[in-house]
Amino acid sequence: MAIQSPHRPPTTAEAAPPLEVGGTLVDLFFDRVSRWADRTALRHVVDGAWREITWREYGDAVREAAAGLVAVGVQPGDRVGILAGNQPRWHMADIAIITAGAVSVPAYPTGAASQVAHVFGHSGARVAFVGDRDQLAKVLLARNRLPALERVVMLTDPPDGMDDDLLLTFDDLRSLGRQHLAEHPDVLRERSRGIEADDVATLVYTSGTTGPPKGAMITHANITATIESLTSIVSVGPDERFLSFLPLSHVAERVVSHIAQIVSGGETWFARSLATVPKDIQDCRPTIFFAVPRVWEKFEQGVRAGVAQQPAPVQRLFERYEALGLRMVAEREGGPRVPLADRLAYMVLDRTLGARVRRQMGLDKGRIFVSAAAPIHADLVRWFHAIGIPIAEVYGQTEDCGPTTMNRPGRIRIGTVGEPLPGVEVKIAEDGEILVRGPNVCAGYWDDPAATAELLEDGWMHSGDLGVLEDGYLRIVGRKKDLLVTSTGKNIAPQDMETALQNHPFISQAVIVGDGRKYLTALIALDDSAVASRLQATKGHGSTEDLATHPVVQEEIAKAVAEVNAERSRAEQIKDWRILPRELTIAGGELTPTLKVKRDVVLRRFADLVEEMYAG
């Protein structure tokens, strides 16, 4: 049974005009510029205050930067890199590159110089936009591995005293563009007319959990097909607000806060940093909000911590509200009907206490809430539904321009990633792999025919994920490459178990071990802040190593493991576990920029703990 949201989402006052058939993202962008020239398009913080950028200003920057790229010799089909954190000029650079008929190639700003060298070197980028001096340093370190690179455009001022013909500022590029447009007023129109639907618009490099990143060739047709499919089931308009804080080099954030913003004609607000996201959300009050599971987990912890600081009567009221909400959710999943008196009590609490909680989170204006990029525990989703935030899981990959399936508004089924998008076909292969076919599927991998042949076979894209279809809804089982085969021959998909463990507030990440072993074990990283908050009255337990030995921590982790084991067969049970000396991080190389665990890296780095669990 599909779950209907108990909260009627606010409607958009004005729907965005549809994308014309055969149009490109460039056509759509300049339509918005002309249609809503004086409306705000982007907002970012300057000198401590939010500054507005109108569609007219956005359009002028794109035109001039695109013409500037032409002026410095960028030809149709050339690759142009972007290495920067989320900011208005990231959007401007991306659309300018595509407007010039070139191919945008984003790289993760958290990547090391060697990773940047791989992306820009493999793609043969001729020009690269860089966000700041730190990102410039990575490019300069990798310069001998970038033979095609001719220009670097700084989105901020270059370092003092640096005089290099390689460097231009963004303002310099715009100035060159203005001069070029004065001399060649039709240059961008000619470039735009030369764009074919099957031309590559962007190379999006995978996060590389199991090997070097591969560049998925996303065409203009892929982008427009994705736009048309999404807007056929989700109405958006110029009153939308998006908060951009996850890496724009990842396809999901790019589709939501960049492309969807163009489609809707609404506003994208740029968070100042990950640390300021809670405050930035309160300022922005997004109508459409996308986050990865780890962010949703932090939201829940924040709410619970806030409630714990309230007087006892308020705490009891919240517990009542929470319990009633979970019963309402259970009813929608086919459980017992909630009596009228309890239903009315929930409505009263939701409009008072619930509304206050959502307002304090900055999510009180939200219409659509999305979790994607990694598995999220169904109980966490139920909890958010119970407090009036109906999270919808969405599933997809870089190779099909972001979304494959989604839980549509009004027909969310918790525990699944929803139904295939209109025009997208999904089937399950004999070995359980999810296969996808549709106009959103990429043209393959850049300069990698062998990997392309593996990806695209008989017209179907091989996702690498395992899943099952239940009444048209897709449920993810795990990653094909992560499948563990014990020494007794038992095949085990660890993802579901890891997600279940990570649902405990003390656990930041979990890695199930057992490939080629007699039994399963687990490596567990603590969420230091959650543990410290729980043990705030305990002195002298500041480090992870100290926290790991605390009796309360040991008891809670043992309980979490026992709960996971209770739901599984004997062969699937975790026999032993160890707490890691620290949380896994992107900087440490154990996580991808989208917070996915690099299993092989973790197993190598903590091999001593693994062997300890299997000793004897």
pLDDT tens figures, 105-119: 999 999 889 999 999
Q: Residue 209: its pLDDT value, please?
A: 58
Which amino acid would we find at residue 488?
T
Task: Provide long-range contacts, Cβ within 8 A and 24+ apart, for 56-59.
Answer: 58/33, 58/88, 58/91, 58/92, 59/29, 59/30, 59/33, 59/34
**Higher-pLDDT residue of 282, 540:** 282
Segment 138-182, tens digit of pLDDT: 999 999 999 999 999 999 988 776 667 899 999 999 999 999 999
What are the pLDDT digits (tens) for 374-383?
899 999 999 9
**Residue 346 — pLDDT band, cuts 50, 70, 90?**
very high
In CATH terms, 483-614 corresponds, of 3.30.300.30, 1.10.3710.10, 3.40.50.300, 3.90.1720.10, to 3.30.300.30
Helix, strand and coil in the chain, % to nearest 5: 40, 20, 40
Mean pLDDT of the residues in the chain: 92
Is residue 72 over pLDDT 80? yes
CA atoms within 13 A on the CB side of 613: 23
Instruction: Look at residues 428, 380, 431 and name the one whose alpha carbon lies nearest to residue 405.
Output: 428
pLDDT band of 533, cuts 50, 70, 90? confident
- Tell me the two tokens of residue 426: 């999904």
Read off the pLDDT of residues 442-452 as tens digits, 9 standing for 90 and up. Answer: 999 999 999 99
Task: Specify the residue for token string 């067969």.
Answer: 569
Strand 79-83 to strand 49-54: parallel, antiparallel, or no bridges (unpaired)? unpaired
CA 12 to chain centre: 24
Is residue 23 pLDDT above 90, yes or no? no
Task: Say which residue, 488 or 271, is predicted with more confidence.
Answer: 271
Confidence check: pLDDT of 319 > 70: yes
The CATH number corresponding to 39-195+240-286 among 3.90.1150.10, 3.40.50.300, 3.40.50.150, 3.40.50.12780 equals 3.40.50.12780
Contact (CB, 8 A) for 487 and 365: no
Q: Which part of the chain has CATH 3.40.50.12780?
A: 39-195+240-286, 293-480
* Cβ atoms of residues 127 and 72 within 8 Å: yes
Q: Is the pLDDT assigned to residue 540 strictly greater than 50?
A: no
Give the dihedral sign, CA 372/375/380/386: positive
Mean pLDDT, range 356-371, rounded to an integer:
97
Statement: 293-480 belongs to CATH 3.30.420.40:
no
Give the pLDDT band (50/70/90) at residue 534: confident
One-letter amino acid for residue 265 of the chain: G
For residues 589, 591, 594, 599, the Cα torsion angle rounded to the nearest 10 degrees is 130
When pLDDT is averaged across residues 316-330 and rounded to a whole number, the result is 98
> What is the reported pLDDT for 153?
97
Categorize the per-residue pLDDT at 586 as very low, low, confident or very high, splitting at 50, 70 and 90.
confident
**pLDDT in the model for residue 18:** 60
Tokens of 39: 């409306």
CA distances to 305, 324, 326, 346 from 313, rounded to whole Å, are 16, 17, 20, 17
CATH 3.30.300.30 range(s) for the chain read 483-614
95 and 82 Cβ atoms separated by less than 8 Å: no
User: Within a 10 A sphere around the Cβ of 273, how many other Cβ atoms?
Assistant: 11
> How many CB atoms lie under 10 A from the CB of residue 320?
15
Looking at per-residue pLDDT, the higher value among 217 and 14 belongs to 217
Q: How confident is the model at residue 262 (pLDDT cuts 50, 70, 90)?
A: very high
